Amino acid sequence: MQRIVLASRPEGAPAHVNFRLEDTPLPEPGDGEVLVRVHYLSLDPYMRGRMDDAKSYAKPVEVGQTMEGGAVGEVIASNSDLFKPGEFAFGMFGWASHGVLPAKALQKLSPDLAPISTALGVLGMPGLTAWHGLTSIGKPQHGETLVVAAATGPVGSMVGQLAKARGLRAVGIAGGPEKCRLAVETFGFDACLDHRAHPDAASLREALAAECPDGIDIYFENVGGKVLESVLPLMNVGGRIPLCGMIAWYSGADLGDRNLLPAAWRAILVKRLLVQGFIIFDAYHRLPDFLEEVAPKVASGEVSYLEDITEGLENAPDAFMAMLKGGNTGKTVVKLV
Ligand code: NDP
């Protein structure tokens, strides 16, 4: 089998030197465990955090260890009554061609209901993240205005579609004219702004103000950076900010000698904003409710999704590094089989 390990810790943006492809013997499943051949590996922004030796909500990957990651694949050997060979499952198998996990740690998938890759995106962790953050923190109300960046990614595109279904005005922000076109035409955003077309926060804010004539009630925070700086002054009193991610700063922040904190803190005070960070692993008990609402809509085509598929485990580092910089269009997955 093959796997990709963390070869060294990145300084700033990850580079090829931080990853290494290795051949290792196929593991044997123990009692209650299953062996899975991975078909699709998920690449997600959180993995950048696992590469740093920093205290966070989860332990870092150690140098020399397999990169962490969720994946879906076929059971090829089982020592558990819960799975038979030939069945499909999602599990945290890492960046690897095969993996062994306790059967109890796996989620069984039905390929007849949806393509198995959807368990990594629209019907998996990112979709649940969007649904949970929006419903439990954003608390959307008919007629309100929502803004979300990374609007064509698996989180942002789900946030936009759920907001539209609840009667909100949804304004997306994305990198480049093609992603903005997809945000409107495929995901139903009322408008989408290209953050790359605006050199600074003031210019992006002016464009946002024109698309949000009644202000912003919910800012679903995925990116931080220039987008956050442009949005905060436009928030309405009583606005809500589910703080989901800040990808613009995952590899470090370059703010020069500017300090954004006083202005941000003041906006939260005077606008009486609710800002709540959340980590989706705390809300996995909501997965069945999420799937009950959204899976039929994916099956009927009412909810759309895009996947950005790269072939071959050896190409995972390139796909990951590109995704962190906006090189992906839709959910980033690596196809192994
Ligand atoms: P995406 O597939 O959307 O990929 C990340 C996207 O971020 C890029 O495609 C790019 O989109 C955008 N981006 C990167 N750098 C910048 C920047 N400097 N300014 C603006 N946008 C930028 O990712 P996901 O949908 O998987 O995740 C979205 C966010 O949600 C991430 O921050 C992630 O960490 C977070 N998240 C948090 C979870 C939690 O539990 N709290 C769980 C899952 C995800 P574009 O080209 O359009 O700018």
What local confidence, expressed as pLDDT, does residue 256 receive? 83
Return the sign of the alpha-carbon dihedral for residues 224, 41, 126, 287: negative
| Distance of CA 44 from the midpoint of ligand 1 (Å) | 8
Find out whether the beta carbon of 127 lies less than 6 Å from any atom of ligand 1. Answer: no
The verdict on the CB of residue 130 being under 6 Å from ligand 1 is no
Region of 167 (left: φ > 0; alpha: ψ -120 to 50; beta: rest) is left
- Give the distance from CA 237 to its chain's centroid: 28
Binding site membership of 245 for ligand 1 (Cβ less than 6 Å): yes
Residues of the chain with CATH 3.40.50.720: 125-280
Predicted pLDDT at 198:
97
**What kind of fold does domain 2-121+305-335 have according to CATH?**
Quinone Oxidoreductase; Chain A, domain 1 (3.90.180)
Residue 60 Cα to ligand 1 middle (Å): 20
**Residue 51 and residue 112 in contact, taking contact as beta carbons nearer than 8 Å:** no
Residue 113 token pair = 């209901």
Q: Which atom of ligand 1 lies nearest, measured to the CA of 156?
A: 25
Each residue's pLDDT expressed in tens, for the chain with a length of 337 residues:
999 999 999 999 999 999 999 999 999 999 999 999 999 999 999 999 999 999 999 999 999 999 999 999 999 999 999 999 999 999 999 999 999 999 999 999 999 999 999 999 999 999 999 999 999 999 999 999 999 999 999 999 999 999 999 999 999 999 999 999 999 999 999 999 999 999 999 999 999 999 999 999 999 999 999 999 999 999 999 999 999 999 999 999 888 888 999 999 999 999 999 999 999 999 999 999 999 999 999 999 999 999 999 999 999 999 999 999 999 999 999 999 9
- Tell me, in angstroms, the distance from the centre of ligand 1 to residue 273's CA: 22
How many angstroms does the Cα of residue 150 sit away from the middle of ligand 1? 5
Element (H, E) at 232: none
CA of 105 to the centre of ligand 1 (A): 27
Helix (H) or strand (E) holding 263: helix 261-270
SS3 251: coil
Look at residue 255 in the predicted model and tell me its pLDDT.
Answer: 86
Q: Of the residues 155, 181, 290, 320, which should be mutated to test ligand 1's pocket, given the most ligand atoms within 8 Å of the CB? A: 155
Q: Is 228 close to ligand 1, i.e. is its CB under 6 Å away?
A: no
Q: Domain 125-280 classified CATH 3.20.20.10?
A: no
Tokens of 167: 């009667």
Atom of ligand 1 nearest to the CA of 245: 32
At 253 the pLDDT is 87
pLDDT at residue number 293: 96
- Measure the N-to-C terminal CA separation of the chain; round to a whole number of Å: 13
Q: Whose CA is nearest to atom 8 of ligand 1?
A: 326
> What residues does 36 pair with on adjacent strands?
75, 99
**Span from the CA of 222 to the centroid of ligand 1 (angstroms):** 6
Nearest to 31 by CA among 78, 74, 72: 78
Which ligand 1 atom sits nearest the alpha carbon of residue 280? 40
Q: Which ranges in the chain are annotated with CATH 3.90.180.10?
A: 2-121+305-335
Q: Is the CB of 336 under 6 A from ligand 1?
A: no
Q: Is residue 222 in contact with ligand 1, taking CB distance under 6 Å?
A: yes
d(CA 214, CA 143): 10
